[in-house]
Amino acid sequence: MRELVLGSHNEKKLHELKALLREMHVRVRSLAEFPHSLHVEETGSTFRENARLKAIEQARYLKCWVLAEDSGLTVPALRNQPGVYSARYAGHGATDAANNRKLIGEIQALPESQREAYYTCQLCLAAPDGEILFETTAEFHGRITDQPAGEYGFGYDPLFWVPEYHRTVAQLGPASKSAIGHRGRAMRLFCRFMMSQNQSR
């Protein structure tokens, strides 16, 4: 594999993923470089199902290696919401600000002890024929605060409090988020897999 397509249209996710792949000796491209790429509906009920859908369908259509990702926030006390609906929690086309406002409204009734939450990142690598060759998941645990803070990151990062650092993810900055976050953890597992494949040849 000399070229890898990241199966996402989310520019902020792509920026993080490309940074995490910088050490790999492979050309990384985004779907933006393929004007006629598919728009894959995320109809799965789990992050794994959605990541598989995006990887397999794009790989078969583009005839390329595709690494797809599905991720989101889970708050167990809110019946595991927003979950796979994280990007559209406040409705289709919702902004990060709208999703955050809805989450703040939902947690108001929860005591501090029930505001635990975690991010999930599911990765799936598909070959040009759609065969899945690698998949992994990683989590990042913290809690939700009703006072957003920080200017980095995206999504629910201003509300995701990391107790060990006494800050939200949005206050930590990109380097720290990559080191301890769900996407960074999943991508390091992927890079380890890729290195093992190269060494076995």
List active site positions.
70
Task: Give the relative orientation of helices 182-199 and 11-20 as an angle to the nearest 10 degrees.
Answer: 40
Contact 194, 200 (CB under 8 A): no
**What is the Cα–Cα distance from 27 to 31, expressed in whole angstroms?**
13
Cis status of the peptide bond prior to 174, with omega within 30 of 0: no
Q: Please return the burial class of 91, using the count of CB atoms within 10 Å of its CB with bins 0-12, 13-18 and 19+.
A: exposed
**Radius of gyration (Cα) for the chain, nearest Å?**
17
